Structure 1
Amino acid sequence: MTSTSTPSLLPGTSRTLAASVRGLSKTYGDGDTAVHALRSVDLDLAPGRFTAVMGPSGSGKSTLMHCMAGLDRPTEGSVTIAGVDLTTLDDDRLTHFRRDHLGFVFQAFNLLPMLTARQNILLPFELTGRRMEDGTAERIEQVIDVLGLRDRLDHRPGELSGGQQQRVAIARALAADADVVFADEPTGNLDSTASAEVLAFLRRSVAEFGHTVVMVTHEMDAAAYADDVVVLADGGIREHLVAPSRARVAQALEGGAR
């Protein structure tokens, strides 16, 4: 593939964005001990794409995802998803927004051990008492088939392999048809075979269901599944690459010239 670098700020765009951040900064501590995890980041993400966020340890990639996902409050700036500025919401409204509009896939799976795979997948609906809209049940069944979980639905997490548990976590994140699905190092606890399976399923969720996936990773093999790669360094965006080659991503991570 050819590599194209695009500006992370797209002024005047008429395209509906899956997520947009402006002037996003996050500082921990005060004075001489302050740590500037993010420094006035601007970023636009288009819908229906798989974006990998990469960078060295301490670059701010996990902080960026946590702020975009409403799991952490930025010090300055805005995060807009589904037309809503998350920084304007109080804690209760932010919790409800995350529940209704965002999906999460974490490295530790975060499945409830006493529930079956199916019960874990449907947990967001059970917790909120939400009724499934027309077509939702059919779509969830399709997700289950795409993820190859049909014969594991009655098994509890302890009876599943690591890759199967992560697929259940992905199905749960996709079940509610979230505007954006965030994945934080989703293959960090998996072997190479299970990692490839999970990444392929995230790829299929974008291609077949039109989901928007934002994945934090430090693995080049994982980033190869993405449409776009955002490279961070020192709390800022070094480059935003569209359909880059592996060599181009490596070059960006090293800070090399184009």
Structure 2
Amino acid sequence: MTSTSFSHPLPAHDAPPAATVRGLSKTYGHGDTTVHALRSVDLDLAPGRFTAIMGPSGSGKSTLMHCLAGLDRPTEGTVAIGGVELTSLGDDQLTRFRRDRLGFVFQAFNLLPMLTARQNIMLPFELAGRRLEPGATERIEQVIDVLGLRDRLDHRPGELSGGQQQRVAIARALASDADVVFADEPTGNLDSTASGEVLSFLRRSVTDLGHTVIMVTHELDAAAYADDVVVLADGRIREHLVAPSREQVAATLEAGVR
């Protein structure tokens, strides 16, 4: 399966896109050493869906996620999350936006070892000096139950399995009711059983809690949990697949490396 167009408008949907990029390019280096990580990418991602970004090494998938999440600035083009154009924000504004509106789950769990699971979940509120808004406590308790962490809240990271630690990291990302949760290879440090559990919980955060999740992965089994799969090759979107089969994703990835 191939595509000759690199523009992928959002499928018909009543709500505006959760994330939009237009003419997105990112280059590193100069002259003969220039690397074109992204090349004039246009993309819309629907809210309340689980999107996997895939592609071979060097395809630009991590760069795309970093630009979408405001962790890196594009060379050209625009990025908008929830209607806010990130490329127009100053550094301090962008830091606050990431803190208040986005959630992050990384391959390394990034939990503080001296804090309990509950304290790690609540850490973003503590760091921001934010009081819990009405309904926030109920939402956080729901997240804890969906992720199956109720009996692990008083445990520190060293007392939890890798899968449990990643579930705490997911709960922390979801606790603030982020516009978008970005997951960068979230199962990279987990065995197959723990990986399946974590992906199931990410899936449930979309299905049961209505979150928007954008995940970078190289694993077909991980992508199988997603609603949509965006496949990159050479810094361009090769295909934007909606509810694809595992075979469709595999065929698109294989075509992208020929």
The TM-score normalised by the length of structure 2 is 0.95
Secondary structure of 1:70's counterpart equals: coil
Match of 2:36 in 1: 36
Secondary structure of 2:79's counterpart equals: strand
* Residues 1:108 and 2:146 aligned together: no
Secondary structure of 2:138's counterpart equals: helix
Match of 2:206 in 1: 206
Q: How many corresponding residue pairs? A: 253
Give per-residue Cα distances to partners, 1:169-204, cap 9 Å, x unaligned: 000000000000000000000000000000000000
Q: CA contact under 8 A between 2:10 and 2:45: conserved in structure 1?
A: no
Secondary structure of 1:94's counterpart equals: helix
Shift of 1:10: 4.4
Distance across 2 between alignment mates of 1:12 and 1:225: 22
Match of 1:71 in 2: 71
Shift of 1:15: 3.8
Match of 1:50 in 2: 50
Secondary structure of 2:8's counterpart equals: coil
Secondary structure of 1:22's counterpart equals: strand
Q: CA contact under 8 A between 2:8 and 2:44: conserved in structure 1?
A: yes
Shift of 1:34: 0.6
Distance across 2 between alignment mates of 1:51 and 1:248: 15
> 1:125 and 1:43, CA in 2 relative to 1: closer, same or farther beyond 3 A?
same
Distance across 2 between alignment mates of 1:61 and 1:31: 23
Distance across 2 between alignment mates of 1:36 and 1:13: 32
Give per-residue Cα distances to partners, 1:71-125, cap 9 Å, x unaligned: 0111111100111110111110000000111000000011111111000000010
Tell me the percent identity.
82
Shift of 1:154: 0.8
Secondary structure of 1:255's counterpart equals: helix
Shift of 1:9: 2.7
Runs of 4+ residues deviating >2 angstroms: 9-15
Q: CA contact under 8 A between 2:15 and 2:47: conserved in structure 1?
A: no
Distance across 2 between alignment mates of 1:112 and 1:124: 12
Match of 1:82 in 2: 82
Distance across 2 between alignment mates of 1:226 and 1:205: 12
Distance across 1 between alignment mates of 2:232 and 2:86: 22
Give per-residue Cα distances to partners, 1:216-254, cap 9 Å, x unaligned: 000000000000000000000000000001110011101
What value does the CA root-mean-square deviation take over the aligned residues?
Answer: 1.7
Distance across 2 between alignment mates of 1:228 and 1:214: 10
Distance across 1 between alignment mates of 2:112 and 2:234: 36
Distance across 1 between alignment mates of 2:186 and 2:14: 32
Unaligned runs of 5+ in 2: none
Secondary structure of 1:23's counterpart equals: strand
The TM-score normalised by the length of structure 1 is 0.95
Unaligned runs of 5+ in 1: none
